[in-house]
Amino acid sequence: MNGLSEVNIGEFKKQFTGEVIVPEDANYDEVRQIWNAMIDRKPALIVRCTTPEDIIQAIEFGRTQNLLISIRGGGHNIAGNAVCDDGLMIDLSLMKGVEVDPTTRRANVEPGCTLGDFDAAAQAWGLATPLGINSTTGVAGLTLGGGFGWLSRKYGMTIDNLLSVEIITADGRQLHASEAENADLFWGVRGGGGNFGVITRFEFQLHPVGPNVLSGLIVFPFEQAKSVISQFARFTETMPEALNVWMVTRKAPPLPFLPEAVHGKEMVALALCYADDPEEGEKLIAPLRGFGTVLGEHIGVQPYTAWQQAFDPLLTKGARNYWKSHNFSQISEGVIDTIIEYAARLPSPHCEIFIGTIGGKTTSVAPEAMAYSSRDARYVMNVHGRWETAAEDERCITWAREFFAKSQPFASGGAYINFLTHDETDRIVFAYGTTWKRLVELKNKYDPMNLFRMNQNIKPA
């Protein structure tokens, strides 16, 4: 237990301008809840910040009271690091400002913003930066772990488009970090997670996108999975950078464009987005329909913001989630066979296996240029275990772990830090690869007492 007293909390409340929440408060349970329902931690204190000064006060209080500190941005991280037991949860989710300068094509984004917040503000000017594929994800956590999505083949990882940050370090200093100022810290935050401080502002480069893009889904029968996934693997090796195609296999949701007989049955879907002239895109995607018998498709020109929200209904808050992930430089026959074997016995109707295609611009950066080093990864595969009740935990987690182990021989080096679960601390060094030693040196410099350790932790030496 922590040594926090009512007197200490009372004194802090008097001088803190944000909201302070304790377990007895009516909104405590609502505020402490995060996206993954498997995480049910109970902080001693939640402070909801609205300014950088609030954050400095909160960090100082946590440090002087010797409290475990967790930082919540969007609260979407699979490992649940946004919330801690018996410590201090610094909640940034109210800091949702986005400022777009359409002339310089730059955006300043506060740490509580979701992808939906950022996309909406940038798309008002026909601009965007590469983000993830679920609009309720937090910009902060996504960015600090690397970040990739539909636009990454054309414009790189999210961190490749990060120009600067304002950050508060463990000793309470407010620093500006960019290639020109505190460059070592800027190197570390681009992939190093929340290990080095709390970001109060991100500055991103924006690119002309949409506002309408050619996007959608093509669904094939599961019996043709070997042929479809094999052709997907070959097609994605040579497609232009403006086109992105992902593969997902799962039980078909009741989508209106699919025959009712298909609902609830295993299927293979190709999801695509073309971030250029839609007419040109139609020609480029035409071969995809020949990969098998098309059960249904829903492809057309729609707002980029709508496509960014297309998978939200399958990723709502409140379900139990457990992920396992590998990077691949190519999709070999061995991994295809393993995908098919495990997709044939999904332990819950909500589980899925997806391959996110990256490559393109994401591979054009040197591995040591920033903390994220997996520049040989052309595909990121996520085994997305998702179910509704605690009674299903063992069955679903066992399935995910077995699949992960069996597909491991075909994977490349590194791992995507944002997909690591709370029980994968043994993979952190592996995930960072060649940048690990420098990250430890940086942690020694900026957080030698490991104040920020509710993360995929880089322990100081």
Residues 187, 279: one domain? Answer: no
Could you give the CA distance from residue 420 to residue 28 in angstroms, rounded to a whole number?
A: 27
Residues 57, 108: one domain? Answer: no
Of 304, 323, 324, 325, the closest CA to residue 379 belongs to 325
φ, ψ of residue 278 in degrees (nearest 5): -55, -35
Answer whether residue 459 is part of any domain. Answer: no
Residues 291, 379: one domain? Answer: yes
Please identify, among 36, 67, 91, the residue that sits at the C-terminal boundary of a domain: 91
Answer whether residue 385 is part of any domain. Answer: yes
Dihedral sign, Cα of residue 377, residue 206, residue 150, residue 283? negative
Please identify, among 44, 76, 91, the residue that sits at the C-terminal boundary of a domain: 91
Residues 247, 118: one domain? Answer: no
Whichever domain contains 392, its CATH number is 3.40.462.20
Residues 121, 269: one domain? Answer: no
Residues 82, 114: one domain? Answer: no
- The helix-helix angle for 225-238 and 333-343 (nearest 10°) equals 140
Task: Say which residue the tokens 């609205």 belong to.
Answer: 50
Residues 307, 333: one domain? Answer: yes
461 residues of the chain, pLDDT tens digit each: 466 778 788 899 999 999 999 999 999 999 999 999 999 999 999 999 999 999 999 999 999 999 999 999 999 999 999 999 999 999 999 999 999 999 999 999 999 999 999 999 999 999 999 999 999 999 999 999 999 999 999 999 999 999 999 999 999 999 999 999 999 999 999 999 999 999 999 999 999 999 999 999 999 999 999 999 999 999 999 999 999 999 999 999 999 999 999 999 999 999 999 999 999 999 999 999 999 999 999 999 999 999 999 999 999 999 999 999 999 999 999 999 999 999 999 999 999 999 999 999 999 999 999 999 999 999 999 999 999 999 999 999 999 999 999 999 999 989 999 999 999 999 999 999 999 999 999 999 999 999 999 999 999 99
Burial code (b: 16+ CB inside 10 Å, e: under 16) for 143-157 equals bbbbbbbbbbbbbbb
Residues 225, 202: one domain? Answer: no
- Mark out the alpha helices in 96-177 (DSSP H runs): 115-123, 139-145, 152-155
Answer whether residue 453 is part of any domain. Answer: no
pTM of the model: 0.96
Could you give the CA distance from residue 119 to residue 128 in angstroms, rounded to a whole number?
A: 6
Residues 154, 198: one domain? Answer: yes
H helices then E strands: how many in the chain?
14, 18
Beta strand 88-91 with 45-48 is: parallel
Residues 373, 260: one domain? Answer: yes
Please identify, among 91, 114, 140, the residue that sits at the C-terminal boundary of a domain: 91
Residues 296, 314: one domain? Answer: yes
Question: How many structural domains compose the chain?
Answer: 3
Q: Which domain holds residue 58?
A: 6-91
Task: Express each pLDDT in 83-138 by its tens digit.
Answer: 999 999 999 999 999 999 999 999 999 999 999 999 999 999 999 999 999 999 99
Answer whether residue 457 is part of any domain. Answer: no
Whichever domain contains 79, its CATH number is 3.30.43.10
Residues 249, 387: one domain? Answer: yes
